[in-house]
Amino acid sequence: MINTLSGRFLILTTVFVMLAEILIFVPSVARYREDFLLNRLERAQIASLALLADDMIDPELEEELLLNAGVFNVVLRRNELRQLVLSSPMPAEVDATFDLREASAWTLIRDSMLRLAAPGPEVIRVIGNPFRDGGELIEITLETTGLRAAMIDYGVRILLLSAVISVVTAGLLFLAVRVLLVKPIKGVVGHMQSYAEAPEDTRRIIQPSASVTELREAEEALQSLETQLTQALRQKERLAQLGGAVARVSHDLRNILTSAQLFTDRIEMSEDPAVKRMAPKLVNSIKRAVSLCESTLAFGRAEEPAPALTLVNLGELVSDVLDSERLAIGDFDLSLSEDVPGNLMVRADPEQMHRVLSNLVRNARQAIVGTGDPGEINIAAHAEDDVWYIDVIDTGPGLPPKAREHLFQPFHGGARKGGSGLGLAIAEELVRGHGGTLTLLDSDETGSRFRICLPMGELITGQ
């Protein structure tokens, strides 16, 4: 009960209402004391009228008038004359005098609290204005026992009433919170639990229905989240199915291309000039197709081996990559350059790093060749602190927005038309296996720059 939202509202409401009633209690008791004393003044004034009507009254009648008024004596000032109208023996001397004519609220509250705190009986003098212009001043003396008892009785009744109001108010708020807040919140939680059981089922997506603005906004946000999640799950399921299909097709296609590659060996031996000119291109195309199939199968099986780290001369590795690409460039006006210190050694798997750089350079070459304009590809490297930086820079047309959005995600479309998007995904995975990162620093119409960051870690000695 205490740990529930409605239960805590119930407790807090009761506490706050009681606190408000206590704040009301203090001025209420002060007002009651003032009314009590004013009532005594009025009754004393009425009692004094008998004497004003007849200067000589019976002592027993005078005593009865004072007893009914609840005072010991009455002093009335009329026409600038101060006169003791009614009097009786005083049980004790006057302990305090209170003037109600110009008393402030703070004074009345202070005097009432002091009266409640003083348990002993006292005799007090009270001064006030006569009622209905019955004089200039009226003064009475009385004992405080009856006053304090009446104040306590009034205060107890106020507190009991406050408690009843608090309980009723808290109960109503408890019911309101359960109906307006707790029930809708439980409904949202129920929708979430139902959706979690089968997130692919669109029928389980929540439909906003709350009338409370904040709850409706929460339902709408949840609906948007569930819709996006369902779509993402469906997309991943389709991609998984597509990946399986691609893997099967790639497996069979690789076998077919391998057989075709065997026939190209005989084609290269032909004396026909046209065949000799076209045979190398056909061989390269088949090799690239076989490589693509093998890459697809490797990615689909997620069997990429862990890198065998060793110290590699990066300059020699880069030269080997660029030499391989020069064969594929042919007569096209595309220059390949490198800016790598000859003695720069990096800690990497030479085969995997060769694949990474080959993928990046090949992508850049294909992008530049696709434009038909001359271009340049440069590989630069340097060491800084405890990191090796390798940059692959090209002067191609830059990457389209879609390619930048899903840059390292497989099967989301490559940087060029017709690409599978596997090259960068594989390269990023291989670099990540080295403990490094592959990022696109910038890409626009003037070209692109990819950066490989490899941590030095503990260098291998004795190599």
Residue 422 has pLDDT above 90, yes or no: no
* Residue 178 DSSP one-character state: I
For the chain, the helix, strand and coil percentages under 3-state DSSP, each to the nearest 5: 60, 15, 25
- Angstrom distance (rounded) from CA 177 to CA 353: 63
The radius of gyration of the chain's CA atoms, rounded to the nearest angstrom, is 49
d(CA 290, CA 328): 16
pLDDT, position 275? 65
Structural contact between residues 294 and 254, judged by C-beta atoms closer than 8 angstroms: yes
Amino acid at 264: T
DSSP strands (E only) in 118-215: 123-128, 137-143
- Distance, CA of 307 to CA of 356 (rounded, Å): 12
Distance from C-alpha of 365 to C-alpha of 396, rounded to nearest angstrom: 8
Instruction: Copy the structure tokens of residue 293.
Output: 């199939």
Domain boundaries, the chain: 5-169, 213-296, 305-455
- Residues 214-249 pLDDT 10s: 888 888 898 888 888 888 877 777 667 666 666 656
| Lowest-confidence pick of 27-41, 72-86, 417-431 | 417-431
* Residue 151: strand, helix, or coil: helix
| Mean predicted confidence (pLDDT) in 20-44 | 85
Token pair 């006057």 in the structure block, residue: 94
DSSP state, residue 304: P
Which among 70-84, 270-284, 362-376, 396-410 has the top mean pLDDT?
362-376
- Of the chain, the end-to-end C-alpha distance in Å amounts to 71
Q: Tally Cβ neighbours within 10 Å of residue 305.
A: 10
Who has greater pLDDT, 260 or 228? 228
Under CATH, which number does the domain 305-455 receive?
3.30.565.10
Would the CA dihedral through 325, 390, 446, 288 be positive or negative?
positive
Q: Say what the pLDDT of residue 461 is.
A: 40
* 345-370: burial string, b at 16+ Cβ within 10 Å, e else: bbbbbbebbbbbbbbbbbbbbbbbbe
Highest mean pLDDT (candidates 142-146, 173-177, 457-461): 142-146
Q: Compute CA distances 122 → 43, 137, 154, 405, whole Å.
A: 20, 23, 20, 89
- Residue appearing with tokens 């997620």: 302
pLDDT at 357: 94
Query: What is the DSSP secondary structure assignment for residue 203, as one 8-state letter?
Result: G
Residue 411 pLDDT grade (very low, low, confident, very high; cuts 50, 70, 90):
low
Three-state SS for 1? coil
DSSP H or E segment with residue 204: none
Cβ(444)–Cβ(454) below 8 Å: no
Alpha-carbon 209 to chain mean position: 23
pLDDT averaged over every residue in the chain: 80
Round to whole Å and give the CA distance between 253 and 178. 65
Answer yes or no: is pLDDT of 372 > 50. Answer: yes
How much is the pLDDT for 281?
Answer: 62
d(CA 445, CA 357): 22
Q: Are 376 and 334 in contact (CB under 8 A)?
A: yes
The overall pTM is greater than 0.85: no
Residues 325-338 have pLDDT tens digits of 887 787 888 999 99
Sign of CA pseudo-dihedral 305, 309, 314, 319:
negative
pLDDT value, residue 379 = 96
> What pLDDT score does 105 carry?
87
Q: Given pLDDT bands bounded at 50, 70 and 90, which one contains residue 297?
A: low
What is the DSSP secondary structure assignment for residue 415, as one 8-state letter?
A: S
pLDDT at residue 462 in the model? 38
- Is the pLDDT assigned to residue 278 strictly greater than 80? no
- 453 neighbors 436 (Cβ within 8 angstroms): yes
DSSP line for 90-143: -SS---EEEE-SS--HHHHHHHHHHHHH--S--EEEEEEPPGGG--SEEEEEEE
> And the tokens for 244?
């399986």
